[in-house]
Amino acid sequence: MFNMGYSVWGILVLIGDIWAIINILQSSAANDKKLLWVVVVVLLPLIGLILWFFLGPRNRTS
């Protein structure tokens, strides 16, 4: 059959990627940077999510 542990992790990564893409598209970054981040998150789901979390554009409210 299949291992449920891997399925749960896959679903969590998918949810995280969807959340990241929504936040990327809602950010105030330039459109070319948004496109680049979305491509990274889609092509490298787990690594892209981690990179975006630490290096991605932030909405700064000062």
Q: Give the span between the Cα atoms of 62 and 47, in whole angstroms.
A: 30
Q: Give the span between the Cα atoms of 58 and 12, in whole angstroms.
A: 22
Specify the pTM: 0.81
Return the pLDDT at 62. 41
Instruction: Please name which of 21, 16, 51, 19 lies closest in space to residue 34, comparing C-alpha atoms.
Output: 21
Residue 53 tokens read as 């979390």
Average pLDDT, 10 consecutive residues per value, the chain (62 residues): 73 94 92 94 94 80 44
Q: Give the span between the Cα atoms of 49 and 5, in whole angstroms.
A: 20
Instruction: Please name which of 43, 39, 38, 47 lies closest in space to residue 19, comparing C-alpha atoms.
Output: 38
